[in-house]
């Protein structure tokens, strides 16, 4: 519990991200998709939003894990490792779903994840969440 008190900002980012992700997936997106006259740009944004939010959640989780596991490493190393692991996971998930035939390969999902990671870099650089 003390660990979460020390890293409350990172924990808060993860919790807010999870709530936003669930709200988008379960409530807002189905409502918009059910409306026939929905704006195609809104549908596109709602399609890539889970990847953006997921990248923020994953990146922040990796930051917290690397901070716990490798306390002696610099914060910059933790950020770079978190970014590499997050991008690797995103690309793996896209390729795995493509291989299984569940979806077509969507390059915009990867771009949204990269933008999410960039957003995290800005947050951490500004000191908002470290």
DSSP 66-110: HHHH-TTS-HHHHHHHHHHHHHHHHHHHHHHHHHTTSS---HHHH
Q: Summarize the confidence of residues 103-127 as an average pLDDT.
A: 84
Q: What's the whole-number average pLDDT of the chain?
A: 80
The pTM score is 0.78
Could you give the number of structural domains in the chain? 1
Domain hosting residue 32, numbered range: 2-126
| More confidently predicted of 120 and 13 | 120
| Helix (H) or strand (E) segment spanning residue 44 | helix 40-69
Percent of all residues in the chain with a pLDDT value above 70, rounded to a whole number: 88
| More confidently predicted of 49 and 124 | 49
pLDDT value, residue 71: 73
Q: Summarize the confidence of residues 97-111 as an average pLDDT.
A: 79
Report residue 72's pLDDT band, with 50, 70 and 90 as the boundaries.
low
């Amino acid at each position: 519990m003390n660990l979460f008190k020390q890293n409350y900002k990172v924990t808060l980012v993860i919790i807010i991200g999870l709530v936003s992700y669930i709200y988008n997936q379960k409530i807002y997106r189905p409502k918009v998709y059910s409306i026939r006259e929905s704006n195609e740009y809104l549908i596109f944004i709602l399609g890539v939003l889970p990847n953006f939010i997921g990248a923020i959640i994953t990146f922040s989780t990796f930051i917290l894990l690397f901070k716990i596991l490798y306390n002696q490493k610099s914060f910059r190393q933790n950020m770079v490792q978190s970014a590499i692991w997050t991008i690797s996971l995103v690309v793996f998930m896209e390729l795995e779903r493509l291989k299984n035939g569940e979806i077509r390969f969507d390059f915009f999902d990867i771009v949204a994840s990269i933008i999410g990671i960039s957003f995290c870099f800005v947050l951490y650089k500004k000191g908002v969440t470290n």
